[in-house]
Structure 1
Amino acid sequence: MRIAIIGAGAVGGTLAALLARAGNDVTVVARGENLRAIRQEGLRLDGGFGKVNAPLTSTGRLTEAPELAVLATKAQDAEAALLAARDHLDGVPLLVVQNGLGGLDVARRVAPASPLLGGLALFAASFLEAGHVTVTGPNPMIVGAGPDADRALLDRVVAVLRDALPIEVTDDIEGAQWTKLLINHVNALPAITGLSVQEVVADPALRRIMTASMRETVRIARRAGARFARVQGVSGRVLQMVGVLPLTLGAFFPRLLARRMGSVPNPGSTLQSIRRGQLTEIDYLNGAAVEVATRIGMPSPVNSAIVALVHEVERTTVFVPPADVARRIPLSPVSI
């Protein structure tokens, strides 16, 4: 299949390399030093899915219509990337693989003629140098039908993807997005402290803050009428428990996520952006929970404080010591 991957960072780079290895005709749309590196040396992938050096087509701008387009940029870059490619996306099936809650809405607005699929990357990957991605957690990707995508299209795309990497299919992509949003709460504290996800979860004070942010988000989702779909064997009912358990018991969930990442230190996607000197997508992660809370008139003190600290590190490029984080994100008796 002729596939265009728009965005060749950790997620897009992983998908591009694996889909090319499976025999697809893959074009990646990249920019800057990453584009130059891929043109010169190919896209190098190593780690949990094996080694691949994919000599695929690379370009700064889509120049022809593919059979399938995959949007894998950061959430804040999605609209601009789709606008740049829009002339070659008319009616082309579009798989949106992004964090946060609004990716499919952006795609529907910019590419209204394209049938949409939603994708959630559960694999952990690090993009720390141009043209090179390392997979630290070879987990599956979840795919579900979005607006105007029928089951036949979903099955066809899933068949292609399954030749390249493990795929789980969901009948509730919106509920799965909420679950992934909760999973992505592991990203913020590494970006604030400079520590890996595993190091953050191992620190008792930071683990309590992470658990508190997750519990707050579960409560926001419940008040907003949102659902949590099953992801990697974790049911919505289990996630609802995070919203009611004391922090010491609710910490089972971040511990589980860290354990599934394995022993290789995982920086998380938000810290990777900080290290590259780029703006993060925190407004679409913990910030998405804050936005929903504001809309429904509910306080979100823990997630609001986390978002503010990530933006501080973006501005100053100075990480905050864990002890200072614990002092600056105090947990009230209600939070505990």
Structure 2
Amino acid sequence: MRIGVIGAGAVGGTFAGLLAAAGHDVEVAARGAQLDAIRAGGLHLDGGWGEHTAAVQANPTLTVRPELAILATKAQDAATALAANATRLEGVPLLVVQNGLGGLRVAHEELPDSPLLGCLALFAASYLEPGHVTVTGANPVVIGEGPGADRALLERVGALVGEALPVELTDDLVGAQWTKLLINHVNALPAITGLSVQEVVADRRLRRILSASMRETVRVARRIGVRFGKVQGVSGRVLDLLGVLPLALGEQFPRLLARRMGAVPNPGSTLQSIRRGQLTEIEFLNGAVVDAATEHGLSAPVNAAIVALVHEVEGTREFLGVDQVAARVPV
């Protein structure tokens, strides 16, 4: 099948490399050094799903109309990327693979005639140098229906992607998105401190801040009527407990997430953006919690403080120490 992947970073590169290895005709839309490296030597993928060098086509925008498109840019870049590729995507099924909330809404606004599916990438991958992506956690993806899609399309795309990597289908995409949003809270503190996720969780004060941001998120979600979906063995019932347990007990959840990542230091996607000198998607992660709280007359001071600190590091390119972070996040 002809597959177009828009965004060839850690997540998009993983999809592109594995789908090409499964025998599909893959073209990626990439930029800058990543585009140059893929054109020169292919896309090299290693780690959890083996080692592959995929000879994918690479261009600034898609040059051929695909039979399936995959959007894997950062959330803040989605609208621009879709607009740039719109002539090739009208009516084409689009799999939206993004962190946070709002990705399907943005895609529907840009491509109202395309059937959309939402995808949560639970695997961990790092794009640390052009043309090279390393999978550090070989976990499945979760796919659910979005605007214009039906169960038949969901099952067809699920089967196709399942040829390349593990897939789970969900009937409650919104609940699954909120669960993934909560898991993605592990990204912010590495971006602020320059530490890996495992190092953040190992530090007593940072782990407490992370747990507090998760507890606050659960409380906001429950107040606005969100029911957390089961993702990667994490059930809504477990997450509901985070909203009522003391922080000392709630800290077991980030410990579990860190253990699942294994021993290879995981920088998290937000820190990877900082290191590349790019703006982060923090407004679609912890910032989405702040926005949801504000919309319903609630507050989320822990998440708001974390968002502000990430933006500060974006501007200064200087990481903060644990003492600085602990003094500025209200836990």
Same fold (TM over 0.5): yes
Counterpart residue type for residue 296 of structure 1: H
Pairs within 5 Å for 1:1-336 = 1-331=1-331
What secondary structure, in the 3-state scheme, does the structure 1 residue paired with 2:50 have? Answer: coil
Give runs of ≥4 in structure 1 deviating > 4 Å.
Answer: none
Deviations 1:33-65 (A, max 9, x none): 110000001001111111010011111011221
* TM-score normalised by length of structure 1: 0.97
State the superposition RMSD in angstroms: 0.7
Whole-Å Cα distance in 1 between the matches of residues 299 and 108 of structure 2?
A: 30
Whole-Å Cα distance in 2 between the matches of residues 231 and 121 of structure 1?
A: 11
Deviations 1:240-261 (A, max 9, x none): 1111111011112111111110
Q: Is the 8 A contact 2:123 2:138 kept in 1?
A: yes
TM-superposed deviation, 1:237 = 1.1
Deviations 1:194-243 (A, max 9, x none): 00000000001000000000010111111111121000111111111111
Whole-Å Cα distance in 2 between the matches of residues 176 and 122 of structure 1?
A: 11
Whole-Å Cα distance in 2 between the matches of residues 227 and 90 of structure 1?
A: 33
TM-superposed deviation, 1:151 = 1.2
Aligned positions, number? 331
What secondary structure, in the 3-state scheme, does the structure 1 residue paired with 2:85 have? Answer: helix
Deviations 1:244-301 (A, max 9, x none): 1110111121111111100000000000000000000001000000011111111111
Whole-Å Cα distance in 1 between the matches of residues 254 and 5 of structure 2?
A: 31
TM-superposed deviation, 1:77 = 0.1
TM-superposed deviation, 1:163 = 0.8
Whole-Å Cα distance in 2 between the matches of residues 99 and 177 of structure 1?
A: 8
Q: Structure 2: 5+ residue runs without aligned partners?
A: none
Whole-Å Cα distance in 2 between the matches of residues 242 and 134 of structure 1?
A: 32
TM-superposed deviation, 1:144 = 0.9
TM-superposed deviation, 1:321 = 0.6
Counterpart residue type for residue 147 of structure 1: P
What secondary structure, in the 3-state scheme, does the structure 2 residue paired with 1:128 have? Answer: strand
Identity of aligned residues (%): 70
